[in-house]
Amino acid sequence: MSHVVVIRGYKPGDELHCRDMIKDVIMASFTTAFIANLLKEATFQLMLLCAAIMFIFFGLPLSVCLLVIPIVVVIIYAGTYLGFVMIAAEANQEITNVPRMYMSNAFSCFWVAEAFQPHLMMRSPKDYHYTVMTEKQFREGNVDVSSLARKIVGTVGLLKSYKVHKGAWIKRLYVEEKYRRKGIGTLLLSTALHFAINEGYSCADLLVSEYAEGGRELCSKSGFDLKQMYHRQVVGPMVNYLLYELTYQIKDENDYCSRGDTKSMLKML
């Protein structure tokens, strides 16, 4: 096999590659977020209000008042970009502290998806088929990857929740865009859920942004239900985004294994 992805536990040194990958994933949604913020009703209201104030109270010509439109556009662009930079910085700080936050006790863990592929590829990774497997399957299969290049293309972590009794938080579920739709996200999520079951958690919650449609679809197929929705302000009320808080209720292993495609995937772990 020349194209393999292995879901394995975090190792010291992984953070260097995880930070770059996660930053790219976060910033990839910037354009979509900027357009969404620009088309919000509040943005048009701000444009009209500023133009009206300039025209009525300052007596400026209408042509001058209309200059408020590009000014507001620049403000929204700068605010959205600053917001995404802040989100990426927050993620970067957390990844730097993975050993302390995720690997210092038995009730939390962090995993990465590591791709093994030829050093020189003539096409984009999205055009290749990748065999996705767990670390256990990788070891038992004695897969020879000695001549292949390595690259971290996905992450996921699980922490104990301090808001829900015996609850867990699934965090930093990211897959590089070129490697999506290959089963990597499914197995990352399955690995985290399997860990939650083994550690006796009652549920596993996670947050998904409105711009991560693929992430919401994956969670829905894996048995997650919507718990609540709320807006998170990034830079004032003009720059915000909608968050979906999803929950996975864990009863017992027999009930869990009877639910959906994710459960069949867990049997391989």
In 28-180, alpha helices (H): 30-38, 41-56, 62-65, 68-96, 98-101, 135-140
Report if residue 83 sits inside a domain. Answer: no
Average pLDDT for 12-26: 93
Please give the model's pTM, rounded to 2 decimal places. 0.85
Residue 150 belongs to some domain of the structure: yes
Q: Is residue 224 part of a domain?
A: yes
Looking up residue 164, the CATH number of its domain turns out to be 3.40.630.30
What range defines the domain where residue 118 resides? Answer: 4-29+91-266
Element (H, E) at 247: strand 239-249
In which element (H, E) is residue 196 found? helix 184-198
Convert the pLDDT of each residue in 250-266 to its tens digit.
Answer: 865 444 443 444 444 44
Asked whether residue 129 is assigned to any structural domain, the reply reads yes
Q: Is the pLDDT of residue 110 over 90?
A: yes
Structural domain includes residue 8: yes
pLDDT, mean of residues 8-30: 93
Q: How many domains does the chain have?
A: 1
Average the pLDDT over 241-248 and give the result.
92
| CA separation for the pair 257, 268 (Å, rounded) | 12
